[in-house]
Amino acid sequence: MSTPPMRAFAGNGGGTLVAALQRRRQRTAFVFALLVLLVAATSIVSLGLGAVSIPPSRTFAALWTGLTGSPADANAARDSLVILNIRLPRTLLGLMVGASLAVCGALMQGLFRNPLADPGLVGVSSGAALAAAIVIVLGERFLPYLPFATLPFVALPIAAFLGGLLFTYVLYVLSSGSGRTSVATLLLAGVALGAMAGAVTGLLTFLSNDQQLRDLTFWSLGSLGGATWTKVTTILPAFIPLAIALPFLGRSLNALSLGEAEAFHLGLPVERIKRIVIVVVALAVGAAVASAGVIGFVGIVVPHLLRLAIGANHKVLLPASALLGAALLLASDILARLIVSPAELPIGILTAAIGAPFFLWLLLARRKMVT
């Protein structure tokens, strides 16, 4: 009598495989639930933290007042004014910038098939910041001749996007050849591009006046302190395409992880996927830099931590990176407001203090694996 297929499969270790897949799905669901709670908790704290402390109960009342327009009392009206005009734009901007940087890090690591790729580390953020610096210092001379001169806030994200796009494309061309990506060339080209951008930015700093110098300092260190509804609406055109593209790019990056030749034989339009990833990363990083300045290491820390927790499946890694990146940046912003209160510490300092040791640890771990 022949053995039933499922019983034979279980007898050959299939039951162990099914149990392992179930445990992986349960762990992934638990991690996603934890990330959602973390985003909610950091958002509530961010809304209530400031010169005027607002507890969670009053925070929800203030939000309800802002939505309905009917304050229960004078305190609710004051809280609603503070939250809606100052803290809610800052919180939303932090969520979108953190999610964008983390997802872009995961996308670049999937494109280059290397966990060391990061928009800030390999010079993409530097290119976006350089373009933004050009607009800040030289914009008064050239913007009047451009068609969007009446909307100067549009020029900054457009310039940052073009700078990030140019640097991303140059980086890809320099580090890829014969269907393979050289990790050493990737890192060295990123360092070289970042140094070139830093040199030009330094020259612009030398030529800038006092107001421009303060603006350049903001871009170089990164901060959410200047968050407004205008900046929130400015980053939305970049954030929405990024969110829409995640489900489609996840499967493509999974195929690319096998190698470009293998992905091509599976029917994946490899070159088109590359162009889409490059444009999406440049758009999102450019908008993030234009809104909050240069904030490094979020794109390298977040995806790597999530790979340890839920694996390398990009269909779940990309949305999980968005959640953890948003929570991480908001938590950094909260710390930035608390450490030197009543002043604010630039977020870029905190993320670099956390991310630089993590990057060194990752380099040492990879060297041990090679040897």
Helix (H, G, I), strand (E, B) or coil at 147: coil
What's this model's pTM, rounded to 2 decimal places? 0.84
Residue burial 98-134, b: 16+ Cβ < 10 Å; e: rest: bbbbbbbbbbbbbbbbbbbbbbbbbbbbbbbbbbbbb
- Of 47-51, 186-190, 333-337, which range is least confident? 186-190
Query: Which is more confident, 44 or 352?
Result: 44
303 pLDDT tier (thresholds 50, 70, 90)? very high
Domain-wise residue ranges, the chain: 20-370
Contact 66, 80 (CB under 8 A): yes
Contact 172, 274 (CB under 8 A): yes
Q: What is the pLDDT of residues 250-299, one digit of tens each?
A: 999 999 888 878 888 888 888 888 888 888 888 888 888 878 888 888 98
2 pLDDT tier (thresholds 50, 70, 90)? very low
The position carrying tokens 């019983």 is 7
Output the furthest CA–CA distance in the chain (Å, rounded).
89
Residue 150 burial (CB < 10 Å; 0-12/13-18/19+)? exposed
Q: What is the pLDDT of residue 260?
A: 79
Mean pLDDT, to the nearest integer, of 220-242? 85
CATH code for residues 20-370: 1.10.3470.10
